[in-house]
Structures are given as C-alpha cells and as structure tokens.
Amino acid sequence: MTLEILTSELLSPVKHGFFSRRGGASSGIFAGLNCGFGSSDLTEAVALNRRRVAEAMEVGPDALVGVHQVHSPAVLTVDSPIEGSKPKADALVTSTPGLALTVLTADCQPVLFSDPDAKVIGAAHAGWRGALDGVLEATLDAMETLGARRSNTSAVIGPTISQRAYEVGPEFMDEFLMASHDNARFFANGQGDRLHFDLPAFGLHRLREAGVGQSEWTRHCTYSDPEKFFSYRRATHAKEADYGRLIAAIRL
C-alpha cells in the first residue's frame, strides 16, 4: 500500500507532509506506518517505515531530523543531521536545504511552519502542555533568529485529537484558567464534571496571537479515525499495550 500524505496549500511550494498510518510495514496494534522508535514495535519495522518517509520527502534516512520530545517549549536550531542521542526539545527550525524536520504525534498537535521568502522552516510537537507553555511562540522566535518574519510565516496544524474526543477533568481546565480566564472558551461541558477541550482551536489561537501570517488546522481527528491515525487516547481506552506514532515532516 502506498503512503498517504496530507498536505496544505498554505505551506506550498515547500515540500511537507502529515503522514497517516497507511502504507507502512508494522503489524498488530502498530499496523501501518509507525515511525516511533520509542514504541515497543520491531526496530526493523520502524526503520523501514522511516526509510519510506525519507524517500517520500526525497532525502536520505539520516536527514530525517527529530528530537527527544518531552512536552516542553524548547526549540532546537539545526543545520546538519543529529548524530548520537537526540536532544530533549519539542520543536526544530532550520534554514538549511535538504534537512527534513520531523515531529512524532499520537493525539498531540504536529505543527509545520514555513516562511518561503526567508527560506526558513519549523516543526513543533504541541500537546496541551507544550502549547500552554509557549512552544508555538518559541518556534516563531527561533525562526525569526534565522531571518524569518512571523507575518510572512504560515503554520499548519495536522491531525490531532478533536474537542468531542478530548474529555478532561476540572483540574485540567484550572491550569488554563490560571494562565488566562479567556481560555474558558476552549472548553465545553460534558457529562457530570467532565469537560471537552478544543486543542486545535487553542493552538490556532496561540499562533494568531503570536502574529503568524496564515494558519489552519487540517481538521483531521486522530481519535475518531482508527483506519488513518494512531491515537494514544484511543489505545488507552481500548486497553492496548502500546500505540503507534504518526510523523509529520517539512524540508526546504
């Protein structure tokens, strides 16, 4: 099966893709394109999946650059492939052609950035913690250091968990209200004291408040479409032992 790659006109003509789980070599609960070495999937299968992604991005496997994601606002500026252990961060930026910046997700937001005039790109892993702590703004700051202008930058949120699938408790909402009472708008009432959090709407809000030129969500929900996407929350509800990781990539 061929790979399924979601793209956005906002990032055109820069080569990029939000890869679905379709077309990979993994099996069982990881069936498809699991790109996470941090999963308990067979290392050989993950490596083959990543080679297929590299081929689709028209780079060598070593040029798929990623970080050890830790739900932080830390951003890494790269100008060459990373050798050895990956540094802890949740976003990457570069102005170097031939490097494919990548992030892995399984409900969190994969966000790809591009200033086509400055030839600067970025990729961020933005779960609720990273988004609340400022990883999206930090990515734009790091891109500006390389010569980008945020008003000329497009940012696209790929497949992520949607509000109707993202049930949380009141203590979760409290964290957002401590940051700003305006954040109440990203929550809807659920059963009892449960609430539903709109992660992509929050991500778009943070991007627009930061002054990004254009932004959108691809409107794909990871939880609701098991044929296309891995989902940490869906795997947890199904009491599965582990879950696959989706990959998003962008390169100059």
Q: What is the predicted pLDDT for the residue at 1?
A: 65
CATH of domain 5-162+198-251: 3.60.140.10
Alpha-carbon distance of 233 to 154, in angstroms, equals: 29
Alpha-carbon distance of 239 to 252, in angstroms, equals: 40
Residue pair 196/166 in contact (Cβ under 8 Å)? The answer is yes
Alpha-carbon distance of 94 to 221, in angstroms, equals: 28
Cis peptide before 159 (omega within 30 of 0): no
User: 75-77 and 100-105: which strand pairing?
Assistant: unpaired
From first to last of its 252 residues, the chain has per-residue pLDDT tens of 699 999 999 999 999 999 999 999 999 999 999 999 999 999 999 999 999 999 999 999 999 999 999 999 999 999 999 988 999 999 999 999 999 999 999 999 999 999 999 999 999 999 999 999 999 999 999 999 999 999 999 999 999 999 999 999 999 999 999 999 999 999 999 999 999 999 999 999 999 999 999 999 999 999 999 999 999 999 999 999 999 999 999 999
Whole-model pTM? 0.97
Domain ranges of the chain: 5-162+198-251
Alpha-carbon separation of residue 131 from 41, 88, 123, 149, 224 (angstroms): 28, 16, 13, 21, 22
Q: What is the predicted pLDDT for the residue at 4?
A: 97
The tokens describing 138, both together, are 């930090």
Alpha-carbon distance of 179 to 231, in angstroms, equals: 27
Q: What is the predicted pLDDT for the residue at 239?
A: 97
Alpha-carbon separation of residue 220 from 9, 23, 47, 198, 225 (angstroms): 16, 18, 26, 13, 8
Torsion sign across C-alpha atoms 221, 87, 45, 24: positive
Q: What is the predicted pLDDT for the residue at 84?
A: 87
Instruction: Enumerate the H helices of the chain as residue ranges.
Output: 43-56, 128-133, 135-145, 170-179, 199-209, 232-237
Alpha-carbon distance of 132 to 55, in angstroms, equals: 34
